[in-house]
Structure formats: structure tokens, C-alpha cells
Structure 1
Amino acid sequence: MKKILFYGLFFVVVQNFAQTKLVTKTGKITFEASVPAFEEVKAKNEAVTCILNPATGEIASLALLKGFRFKVALMEEHFNENYVESDKFPKATFKGKIEGFDLSKLTATAKEYTLKGKLELHGKTKDITVIAKIKKTDAGVEIDSDFTVNTDDFDIEIPSVVSKKLSKKVAVKLDFTLK
């Protein structure tokens, strides 16, 4: 009887411990640096990791830069070799906090929260503040955000020969479902 009680309590404790953080390894980040009248410059990475500590609102995300896929293979090659130099700087990370986050108050209706933290890309770190819409669904906690990143902030050089075809203001969209 003691063994049954022990294993029962052990299972409950382990399950509660495992649920202290919400995680995804299939988060999506899409970015677009297109300029009107020129070919679309857009890519998506569907293997982004994100971890949320619901007790504190601390959040961290990691995207491998070679995971971004473009419609045109040559763009992908230029992105990795010439712009973000993914062999030298293989990842982009964000570490921060969701202000006023309370898991118990999430509903199926998205609520806006402020995310503040540090974005690291191309060997440079910048403090950023973005708005995210967060809601709770049957699939988990969904976090969506749209914001802009300036290539100059991360010393990403755009050669003059293509400067009219690429925007320095890159629109970023993230979509995470954490469980």
C-alpha cells in the first residue's frame, strides 16, 4: 500500500514539475524585407524554440538562421552567406519578460501584452519592446506578434547594388503555441 501511495504522489509531483514551463519547438517566425515593384523577399522558419515560465512571465526564444526558407533558393543562399552570415552567427535569440502576465487570466480572447527584452542577431544585442497578443486555446497558449527590426541596428549590410530592392525595415511576424 505504501508503494502505491508513493508512486501515486511521485507521479503527481513529476507531472506538476514538468508543467512549470510552457514550451514549443515548432514556433513560426516569418520576415519580409520586400520593396514595392521588386521581387518578394520573404522567409519562414517553422522550427523556432520558445520557452515561457508562466509563474514569472519570463520568455526566451531561439531561431536557427539556416532554418529560414525562401521561395527562391538563391535568396536563401545570399541571406545566409552575405547578410546574416549564419556560419559565423548561427542563431537569433530573444530573452525577456511579458509584463503583467498571469496564466490564470488568459481566455480564448486574445489580450495584448508588452514584451520587453533583448534581441540578439548577427552578433549584436538590442533592447526591444513589442506588443504580443496572447490567448489560451485547446492547443495551448498562443502568442502572436508583429514588429519591425532595422537591419542597421544589427550591422547587417545591404550592398548598394541591391539596396533599392531590399528594405532596411524588416517586418517580423511570430506565431507560437506553447504547451
Structure 2
Amino acid sequence: MKRIIVLSAIIILTGFKTFSQDKKITKTGKIIFEASVPSFEEVKAKNESVTCVVNIKTGEIASLALMRGFRFKVALMEEHFNENYIESDKYPKATFNGKIQGFDWDNIGNSPKEYKMNGILEVHGKSKEISTSVFLRKVDNGLEIVSDFKVKIKDFNIDIPKVLSMKVAETVNIKTLFLVK
């Protein structure tokens, strides 16, 4: 009986080890967004606690950012972002689920290589299909993933009061940096 239990435990642990080798993860990814307009105060924030998981067999990628994790230079701007615009209590997270096209772990080197990435971005309870370029390179037994894309505020039903509409860009630039291991 002991042999069967030990053998079962070895098989289960081996299975988990094999499964985990297919996934690389980080919980310290970065997202920076900017919606600044020239001649007005900078509208820019950074979140350095973003989770990202990549399946290195399939190229599937998923990330999650807590909205209250975004930090602004001006505390009042951060408060307005969370309470009035993004409504963080009602919509506490942003997610992305997608796939890196043509992903092949064996063909990724130490220099950044451009790939196409498609997926669904969900922010403020609204989903939008995203297609963008992503740059991949191997670093320290991991994978660096860098992207830079734009989204429109109106696509996510985020209301900016008319009085502030001249100070906030209609299109937001989003930069991501993940080092998954």
C-alpha cells in the first residue's frame, strides 16, 4: 500500500512539474499609461504589481492589473481616477487574454524580436479586441515581453467631464513590460 501511495505522489508531482514548465509568470510586471495633452498637466500613471502568465508551448498570454495599483504624481489625480473615471470599487481590475502569433520558444533569442499579439482587453467592465506588436527576448531564464499600444477612452465607456475633456487625451497610450520566469 505504501508503494502505491508513494508511486502516486511521484506521478502527481512529476505531472505538476511538467505542467509548470509550460508556464512562465510574474507578479511584478509594469504598465504605464499616459493620456496627457500638450500644455496641460501630465496625466500619467504606473502600476508595478501586474500579473502576467505566458504559456510557452502555445503563446497564450494573460495579464491582470488591479486598478488601485496605478500611481500618479499627483495624489488628487489618483483619487479622481479611482473614484470618478475608472470607478475602481465597481471595476477593480483590468485584464488581457490573448495569443502571441507565431510564438516559438526555441526561436526567441537574446535580441528583441517583433511578434503580433491579438486578444481581448477588459477595462471598466467593457471588452475590446486588441491587435498590437509585442517584442520578445530571452533574459535570465525568463522572457521579456514589451508592448506599446493605444486605446480610446470612449471604447471602455469612461466618462470624462466636459470641463476636463481638453486636459485628457481621447486616446490613451499603454506601455507594458513583463519579465516572466
Do they fold alike, i.e. is TM over 0.5?
yes
Matches within 5 A, 1:5-154: 14-138=16-140, 140-154=142-156
Aligned Cα root-mean-square deviation (Å):
1.9
Inter-partner Cα distance in structure 1 for 2:89 and 2:14: 44
Counterpart residue number, 2:166: 164
Shift of 1:53: 0.7
What SS does the aligned partner of 1:96 have?
Answer: strand
Task: Sort the Cα spacing of 1:102 and 1:75 in 2 relative to 1 into closer, same or farther, 3 A.
Answer: same
Shift of 1:69: 0.3
Inter-partner Cα distance in structure 2 for 1:66 and 1:10: 38
What letter is aligned with 1:134? L
Deviations 1:9-36 (A, max 9, x none): 8876553332220101000000001111
Task: Sort the Cα spacing of 1:8 and 1:153 in 2 relative to 1 into closer, same or farther, 3 A.
Answer: closer
Inter-partner Cα distance in structure 2 for 1:14 and 1:119: 29
Deviations 1:108-135 (A, max 9, x none): 0111111101000111101110100011
- TM-score, with length taken from structure 1: 0.92
| Unaligned stretches of 5+ residues in structure 1 | none
Bigger mean CA deviation after superposition, 17-26 or 142-151: 17-26
Deviations 1:33-87 (A, max 9, x none): 1111111111000000011111111111100000000010000000001111010
Is the contact between residue 139 and residue 177 of structure 1 (CA under 8 Å) also seen in structure 2? no
What letter is aligned with 2:112? A
Task: Sort the Cα spacing of 1:87 and 1:46 in 2 relative to 1 into closer, same or farther, 3 A.
Answer: same
Inter-partner Cα distance in structure 2 for 1:139 and 1:43: 29
- TM-score, with length taken from structure 2: 0.91
Residues paired across the two proteins, number? 177
What letter is aligned with 1:21? K
What SS does the aligned partner of 1:16 have?
Answer: helix
What SS does the aligned partner of 1:44 have?
Answer: strand
What SS does the aligned partner of 2:32 have?
Answer: strand
Shift of 1:138: 1.4
Q: Report runs of 4+ in structure 1 exceeding 4 Å deviation.
A: 6-14
Inter-partner Cα distance in structure 2 for 1:26 and 1:139: 16
